[in-house]
C-alpha cells in the first residue's frame, strides 16, 4: 500500500510540474507579433475603380483633402491587441513668431500616436486614416508598430510619403493667445493675412460657440486678390453672451479650396 501511494504521489507531482511548466510558458510569451512580409501596403483612393486599391510608392504624394489606408496581415501566437501609427514630419519648420497659422506640420508622434484597435491571432488589417485639412505640404514618415496582449512589439513598418496642401493659409497676429479676455462693450481687434495660390472668393470672420456662430465681418462672396489683409475690430455686444466663445476665420478660393483658423476667447461682463 505504501509503495502504491509513493508511486501515485510521484505521478501527481510530475503532473503538477508539467502543468506549471506549460502555464509558465503561456504566461511568459516573448514572441513578437509578425507583420507578414510583402502584405503590408499603404493604399490611396483610385477614382477609376472607386476604392482604396492603388499602392502608394515610397515618397508618393497625397493631396489634401485626402486619406490613406494601411492594409496587410498580422500574426501572433497570442491575442494581438493594438496597432500604433506615428506620422513624423521630415522637413525643418519654424512657425513665424507671434503668429497663429492655419497650416502647420502634421505631427502625430509621442503621446499623440494614432491607436487602432485590432483583435485576434491572425488579423487582416484595412484601416483608413484621414489627413487633416491643416497638414502642411512637405515630406513625412509613417511608422507603424503592432503590440500583443503581453506587450510584445513587432518590428517597425515604415513608409516615406509627402503631402500637397494647396488650401489658403490664414495667419493671425491678433489675437494670438488662447482665452484672451474681452469685456462686454470692448472692441475685439483682429489682424492678419490670408494667402492663396489663386484668387480668394470668400473671407469670413465669425464668433460663437457650438452651432451658434454669428457673422461679424466679410461674410459675402466677393472676388479678391490672392492675398487679403485682415485689419478690423468689432464691438463686443451683450448678444454674444459670456463665457468661452470661438473666433473663426475662414477663407475659400476660386477652386473651392478652403481653410480656417479658430481661436478661443473669453467674454465676461466685467
pTM: 0.80
Alpha-carbon distance of 239 to 147, in angstroms, equals: 52
Phi, psi of 235 (to 5 degrees): -75, 130
Residue ranges, the chain, pLDDT below 50 = 2-3, 5-8, 10-13, 15-26
The answer to whether domain 34-164 has CATH 2.60.40.10 is: yes
DSSP assignment, residue 41?
A: E
- State the span(s) of the chain assigned CATH 2.60.40.10: 34-164
Distance from chain centroid for Cα 146:
18
- State the span(s) of the chain assigned CATH 2.60.40.770: 169-268
Q: Which residues pair with 86 in a beta bridge?
A: 143
Look at residue 139 in the predicted model and tell me its pLDDT: 97
User: Per residue in 29-74, pLDDT tens?
Assistant: 678 888 887 888 999 999 898 999 999 999 999 999 999 999 988 8
Q: So what CATH class is 169-268?
A: mainly beta
Amino acid at each position: 500500500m505504501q509503495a502504491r501511494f509513493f508511486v501515485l504521489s510521484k505521478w501527481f507531482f510530475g503532473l503538477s510540474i508539467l502543468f506549471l511548466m506549460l502555464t509558465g510558458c503561456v504566461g511568459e510569451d516573448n514572441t513578437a507579433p509578425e507583420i507578414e512580409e510583402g502584405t503590408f501596403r499603404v493604399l490611396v483612393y483610385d477614382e477609376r475603380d472607386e476604392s482604396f486599391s492603388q499602392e502608394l510608392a515610397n515618397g508618393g504624394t497625397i493631396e489634401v483633402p485626402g486619406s490613406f489606408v494601411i492594409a496587410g496581415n498580422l500574426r501572433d501566437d497570442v491575442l494581438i491587441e493594438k496597432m500604433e501609427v506615428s506620422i513624423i514630419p521630415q522637413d525643418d519648420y519654424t512657425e513665424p513668431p507671434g503668429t497663429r497659422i492655419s497650416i502647420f506640420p502634421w505631427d502625430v508622434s509621442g503621446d499623440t500616436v494614432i491607436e487602432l484597435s485590432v483583435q485576434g491571432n491572425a488579423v487582416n488589417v484595412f484601416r483608413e486614416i484621414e489627413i487633416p485639412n491643416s497638414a502642411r505640404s512637405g515630406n513625412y514618415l509613417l511608422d507603424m508598430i503592432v503590440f500583443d496582449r503581453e506587450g510584445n512589439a513587432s518590428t517597425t513598418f515604415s513608409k516615406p510619403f509627402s503631402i500637397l496642401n494647396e488650401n489658403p493659409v490664414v495667419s493671425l497676429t491678433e489675437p494670438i493667445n488662447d482665452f484672451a479676455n474681452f469685456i462686454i462693450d470692448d472692441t475685439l481687434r483682429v489682424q492678419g493675412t490670408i494667402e492663396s495660390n489663386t484668387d480668394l472668393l470668400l473671407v469670413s470672420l465669425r464668433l460663437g460657440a457650438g452651432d451658434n456662430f454669428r457673422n461679424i465681418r466679410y461674410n459675402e462672396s466677393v472676388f479678391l486678390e490672392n492675398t487679403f489683409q485682415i485689419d478690423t475690430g468689432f464691438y463686443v455686444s451683450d448678444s454674444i453672451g459670456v463665457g468661452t466663445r470661438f473666433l473663426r476665420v475662414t477663407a475659400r478660393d476660386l477652386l473651392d479650396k478652403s481653410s480656417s483658423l479658430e481661436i478661443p476667447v473669453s467674454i465676461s461682463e466685467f
